[in-house]
Amino acid sequence: MLIHRLATLTGLAVATLFLAAPANALTMAECSTKYNAAKDAGTLAGATWNQFRKAQCGTDAAATTDAKPADTKKATDTKKAAETKPAKAAKAAAAADDSTAKGLTAKECSTKYQAAKAAGTLNGMKWNDFRKSECSAGASAAAAAKPATTKAAAAPADNGGKGLSMAECSTKYQAAKTANTLKGMKWNDFRKTECGAGASDDDTVPAADEASYTKEPAKPTTAAPKGVTFPSAISAKYASETPGKGRMHTCLDQYYALKDANALGGLKWIQKGGGFYSLCNAKLKS
């Protein structure tokens, strides 16, 4: 009987010790995570960190009471920000690569094509071949697309250069002269052959860089046709030239502009009784 009672008492003591040991003793990091989760869920019910730690994490009363939970939210946000930076950088780089892959716009490519055509450097290349090789246009681009013409051009860009404005023809002529491909052709012949000028067009007008001032033109003896306009002063870009030469170049620029606008009223650059040059020169001198 005594032995039985001693055994019973021993069992009770062991059970008591077992129950006294914390069954859910979490680490500080684990408890902090649990605390922050409860805080985010709004289930703390007013419990402070140390109260929560003792009640929910198996921490005994002797544990340090001024320990604070780790701010997991801040750490998470920091991690997200760190992960976002390279993602943003990669996205920006991809956008830049995409922009580069697209190459020139149709308008930019057209301008480049026209410049090459004017310079005589196409080497027989057609618009679509040029677009693919020089403008990085994708294979899915419309094969029938044509290069946009400039506002001043009077004819489509695929007409072999015909119908060019005076300024455009002058640019093309200068390029051919520089490339030494004129083969003895003069300005007016070039204009008719390469720029679409009519056979009966004005042969008296010089190229912009070939206008040579030697003397004043004859005074006009006839009035200008109605509607023909003349400049009122020498252009500022010719201010460094002699007055006579400045007037000549200013008048030539105006002639080119009126020629393109079909507003010369039948005047030629030089003609009996007073061509455009003599009328314009007289106007500037007055």
Higher pLDDT, 148 or 151: 148
Place of tokens 């502009």: 257
Of residues 113, 170, 169, the one with CA closest to residue 137: 113
Average pLDDT over residues 36-63: 78
In a domain, 80, yes or no: no
Domain closes at, from 118, 138, 158: 138
Which amino acid, residue 76? T
In a domain, 130, yes or no: yes
- Do 37 and 110 have their domain in common? no
Of residues 117, 114, 152, 120, the one with CA closest to residue 256: 152
User: CB neighbours (10 Å) of residue 250?
Assistant: 23
DSSP collapsed to 3 states, the chain = CHHHHHHHHHHHHHHHHHHHCCCCCCCHHHHHHHHHHHHHHCCCCCCCHHHHHHHHCCCCCCCCCCCCCCCHHHHHHHHHHHHHHHHHHHHHHHHHHHHHHHCCCHHHHHHHHHHHHHHCCCCCCCHHHHHHHHCCCCCCCCCCCCCCCCCCCCCCCCCCCCCCCHHHHHHHHHHHHHCCCCCCCCHHHHHHHHCCCCCCCCCCCCCCCCCCCCCCCCCCCCCCCCCCCCCCCCCHHHCCCCHHHHHHHHHHHHHHHHHHCCCCCCCCCCCCCCCHHHHHHHHHHC
- Confidence check: pLDDT of 240 > 90: yes
- Do 36 and 107 have their domain in common? no
Question: What pLDDT does residue 64 have?
Answer: 44
| Contact indicator for 12, 40 with CB cutoff of 8 Å | no
The total of structural domains in the chain comes to: 4
- Do 126 and 165 have their domain in common? no
Higher pLDDT, 144 or 132: 132
- Do 247 and 284 have their domain in common? yes
The phi and psi torsions of 98 (rounded to 5 degrees) equal: -65, -40
Of residues 197, 189, 251, the one with CA closest to residue 220: 251
In a domain, 215, yes or no: yes
- Do 256 and 188 have their domain in common? no
Place of tokens 């030089």: 270
Distance CA 175, CA 119 (A): 5
In a domain, 14, yes or no: no
Query: For a pLDDT cut of 70, what percent of the chain falls above it?
Result: 62
Higher pLDDT, 28 or 136: 28
Report for 41-50, 121-130, 208-217, 274-283: range of highest mean pLDDT: 274-283
In a domain, 91, yes or no: no
- Do 134 and 184 have their domain in common? no
- Do 208 and 286 have their domain in common? yes
Question: What pLDDT does residue 3 have?
Answer: 52
Which amino acid, residue 263? A
How confident is residue 88, by pLDDT bands cut at 50, 70 and 90? Answer: low
In a domain, 98, yes or no: no
Question: What pLDDT does residue 58 have?
Answer: 73
- Do 172 and 229 have their domain in common? no
- What global pTM score does this model have? 0.41
Question: What pLDDT does residue 227 have?
Answer: 93
In a domain, 144, yes or no: no
Find the domain containing 256 and state its range. Answer: 204-286
Summary mean pLDDT of the chain: 73
Question: What pLDDT does residue 157 have?
Answer: 36
Question: What pLDDT does residue 83 have?
Answer: 47
Distance CA 200, CA 58 (A): 109
In a domain, 5, yes or no: no
Check the CA dihedral 32-36-41-44 and report its sign.
Answer: positive
Question: What pLDDT does residue 32 have?
Answer: 85
Distance CA 115, CA 208 (A): 19
The phi and psi torsions of 106 (rounded to 5 degrees) equal: -60, -40
Burial (CB count <10 Å: 0-12, 13-18, 19+), residue 261? exposed
